Amino acid sequence: MGHTTDVLVIGGGPAGLAAAIAARRKGISVTVADGARPPIDKACGEGLLPGTLAALRELGISISSNDGQVFRRIRFIDGGISAEAQFPGESSIGVRRTVLHRKMVERAEESGVELLWNSPVTGISRRCAIVGGKAIPTKWVVGADGVHSRGRRWSGLDSGVHCEVRFAQRRHYRARLLTDCVEVYWGRKIQAYVTPLANEETCVVLISRDPAMRFEEALREFPGLAASLSNAKLSSVQRGTVTATCKLDRVYRGNVALIGDASGSVDAITGEGLELGFRQALVLAGALETGELEKYQAAHRKLARRPQAMARLLLLLDRFAPLRKRVLQGLARDPDLFTRLLAAHVKETSSAFLAETIAYLGWRLITG
């Protein structure tokens, strides 16, 4: 008898592996098919915030200081303005994407997930998926194939996509620029996102609305950063990608459910994409077990609300430089307000707390 499975996951990135691990814990048989081979690299800021680390633990994956560089603070820099705050509660860790992927693959193997690498999915129908040219019968299909998801298109869930897209380039430098801090720089048209990693290594991501952005040229917008990198060697190949703030009207249809960036995403600058995918995975497993995907839809909407609000706020600051400079000056003068904003961003706080914090920020801008 050929290969059959309860759940066929398209894509073995972080969200697909998380979905597979969570479903196996419910006793569901799962096959993951990915067109690439592990460990899969991807342009990413590589910051695992406290909520991301907690979600990984719920999936049975422990990331420790041995896997990367612990950081507790974030610094926003725009020209001469610099504002800094400490993350509330647990620390965050900067971890190479390939290290995270390797750990997730190990956990999936231990959990009994069937992993098919070098196996692109080229189509789905009601009862099967075409993997590497062969049909695999399956009860459910989970589309975890990233921001350009074909699974989303095949299942007809593409029609309600609303997106704001930016373009990103990532490099790793063999240099220790930062210890316990991540930095976000704003320039005229470029943003830089700097994360410390293990082994004297630093991840630098440049993000722009211009698809033709060139790394070297763009880096010159940040003379201090460019100077500290001028003698550092590259320690990986440069990678580019898009980062999108995307919302879908629906994340499931029939026996197909979408997860991770395929199901809508938040801009890279929030540093929350991974946690969102992991939290969705934990909820999706329960919905697959009972067959109630409408519950997944409702939980998915709720999970996305806070990160989407923060993404909109950060993109507003990116678009309007005078507003951004005033906000950064306000945060530099009032570190408690910055800490409160961070708490609203990374911690389980109520929407009332977030609304109050934004209102307080607005008031400080008017009175500052």
Binding site for ligand FAD (CB under 6 A): 10-16, 33-36, 40, 42-47, 52, 120-121, 144-146, 150, 168, 205, 241, 243, 260-262, 265, 268, 271-275, 277
> Contact, 144 vs 10, CB < 8 A?
yes
Which residue lies nearer to ligand FAD by CB, 243 or 357? Answer: 243
Which residue lies nearer to ligand FAD by CB, 210 or 362? Answer: 210
CB of 150 to ligand FAD, least distance (A): 5
Report the distance separating Cα 84 and Cα 253, nearest Å: 44
Provide CB contacts within 8 A for 119, sequence distance 6+.
33, 34, 35, 131, 132
Q: Which alpha helices (H) appear in 220-292, and where do they start and end?
A: 223-229, 273-290
Which residue lies nearer to ligand FAD by CB, 229 or 361? Answer: 229
CB of 209 to ligand FAD, least distance (A): 13
Which residue lies nearer to ligand FAD by CB, 121 or 213? Answer: 121
> Contact, 173 vs 226, CB < 8 A?
no
Rg, the chain, Cα only: 21
CB of 366 to ligand FAD, least distance (A): 32
Name the pairing type of β-strands 69-71 and 92-94: antiparallel
Which residue lies nearer to ligand FAD by CB, 229 or 258? Answer: 258
CB of 32 to ligand FAD, least distance (A): 9
Between helix 321-333 and helix 335-346 the angle, nearest 10°, is: 110
CB of 291 to ligand FAD, least distance (A): 23
Between helix 293-319 and helix 351-367 the angle, nearest 10°, is: 10
Can you tell me whether residue 130 is helix, strand or coil? strand
Phi then psi dihedrals of residue 220, to 5 deg: -65, -15
Which residue lies nearer to ligand FAD by CB, 260 or 330? Answer: 260
Which residue lies nearer to ligand FAD by CB, 145 or 318? Answer: 145
CB of 250 to ligand FAD, least distance (A): 17
CB of 74 to ligand FAD, least distance (A): 11
Task: Determine whether 215 is exposed, middle or buried from the number of CB atoms within 10 Å of its CB (0-12, 13-18, 19+).
Answer: middle
Report the distance separating Cα 267 and Cα 113, nearest Å: 30
CB of 334 to ligand FAD, least distance (A): 26
> Contact, 69 vs 96, CB < 8 A?
no
N-terminal to C-terminal alpha carbon distance within the chain: 72
Greatest extent of the chain over all pairs of C-alpha atoms, in Å: 73
Which residue lies nearer to ligand FAD by CB, 171 or 330? Answer: 171
* Total Cβ atoms within 10 A of residue 117: 15
Which residue lies nearer to ligand FAD by CB, 42 or 326? Answer: 42
Report the distance separating Cα 26 and Cα 248, nearest Å: 27
CB of 71 to ligand FAD, least distance (A): 11
